[in-house]
Structure formats: C-alpha cells, structure tokens
Amino acid sequence: MMVAHDVGVFIFSSTAAIFGEPQYVPIDEAHPKAPINPYGRSKWMVEQILEDFDTAYGLKAVALRYFNAAGADPEGRLGERHDPETHLIPLVLRAASGRREHITVFGADYDTPDGTCVRDYIHVNDLCEVHLRALERLLAGGGSDRFNLGNGRGFSVQEVIDAAERVTGRKVPVVRGERRAGDPARLVADSKHARSALGWEPRYADLDTIIAHAWEWERRIAGL
C-alpha cells in the first residue's frame, strides 16, 4: 500500500533480539543475525522484506534496533504502563513503591562482575530523537540503513537495583531465582554508526537519571 500510494520512506522499530546469543560485545550492525525467539525472527524477517522492497520499488527504510528502552518523559507526562509489566526498571520501581512484593533476580552466576545479567539501557527520549534524525535523513534523500541503538555501556541487574535504591531512598525487596533459558550474560550495543551517520548522541546515558525519570512516573501512578 505504501508503494501504491507513493509513500517512499519508512522507519521500522526493530530490536536487538535479531542477533540472538551474542558472539561478541559490543554488538555492531554487522553481527550475525540468529534470533532465538519468534519476536526476534519476525523483526529480522521484516528487515529483510524492507531490503527487498528497496531493491524492487525504491522504498527507503531505516531499521532502528532498540536494545533496552527505559526511563520516562522527564516532565512526567508519559511513562511505561504495561499490563503485564515485563521490563526490569519499572518492575524494580514497583517493588520500591510497594505496588509489588519483590523483584526476582534470575541467575547470579553469569560471567559478569557481579554475576547478574548485563544490559544496555537507552532513555526513551534519546530514542525519540534518533527517530526524528533518521526520518530527516530519509526525507533529505538518504538511503536505507540499519542502526543499533544503545548507550554503549552495560549495567547489570544488580546495578539497576542498587541505583533504584539510591534514587528512591527505599529498599527494594529481592528474591533470587534460577537462570532463565535464553538469557545471554551481556547485551551491549555498539552505536558508533548512529552517532556518525546521524550526528546523534544520547543525552540521558546516566543510569541514575534514567531511573529518576522512571521513578517520578512510578510515584505518580502509585500516588506517592
């Protein structure tokens, strides 16, 4: 339908899940694609379809591969409100606010500094900015491209919990659980391509800032 109505540019929300178990970190755009779940496979399928449509019809597309979107609008207007919630930071903050009994840490024996999984958290406002820059690039005549989006630094589950306690001034109840199948020890983005091609730089790369914005949203929802 886009081709039929002469809509020539497309921004696609992709994911780090297209890479599957990382062969190296940080993960750049050239990393092998080997998704291990339907979510990652479906995203990788669409990326390949978009490449075909560029070749066949000239439809220009940018795929933005999010790592872990986090945080909330700094002005408190929008934030994460999933049902059920599955993301680590809001779950940790729900435990801090009392809306959840505890947070379960799945595995503490990974090959990481503190034994818990390491992930790359990128503030949602930084994602918004890179969307705009990617669209502007396409509208200016730029070609199709793919970008891995993260801060380029990983934080462990334990570091997230520690930061949440530091920011909120509250204790986060923790229960230790077994490892979950398919959880890599480290997922960290190499975002050099986005920084170079789009002139983009994350503004909210500090973990405490990401959590502070999410905490203000949680306080609003919890009525604190």
- List of domains in the chain: 9-222 (3.90.25.10)
Strand order in the sheet with 155-156: 155-156, 118-119, 186-187
Encode pLDDT of 174-183 as tens digits. 999 999 887 8
Q: Taking every pair of C-alpha atoms in the chain, what is the biggest distance, in angstroms?
A: 56
Distance CA 125, CA 118 (A): 22
Phi and psi (nearest 5°) for 54? -65, -45
Which residues are known catalytic residues?
39
pLDDT at 188: 96
Distance CA 116, CA 109 (A): 7
> Tokens 């050239």 identify what position?
30
Encode pLDDT of 11-29 as tens digits. 999 999 999 989 999 999 9
The dihedral over CA atoms of 193, 148, 209, 81, expressed in degrees to the nearest 10, equals 150
Token couple for 88? 């680590």
pLDDT at 182: 78
Taking Cα atoms as reference points, which of 47, 53, 58 lies closest to residue 15?
47
Taking Cα atoms as reference points, which of 123, 115, 197, 111 lies closest to residue 153?
123
Encode pLDDT of 69-87 as tens digits. 999 999 989 999 888 999 9
Distance CA 216, CA 222 (A): 10
**What ranges in the chain are assigned the alpha helix state H?**
38-57, 88-97, 124-139, 157-168, 192-198, 207-222
pLDDT at 121: 96
pLDDT at 36: 87
Q: Report angle CA 215, 217, 220 to the nearest 5 degrees.
A: 110
pLDDT at 39: 92
Residues of the chain with pLDDT under 70: none
Token couple for 85? 């919630």
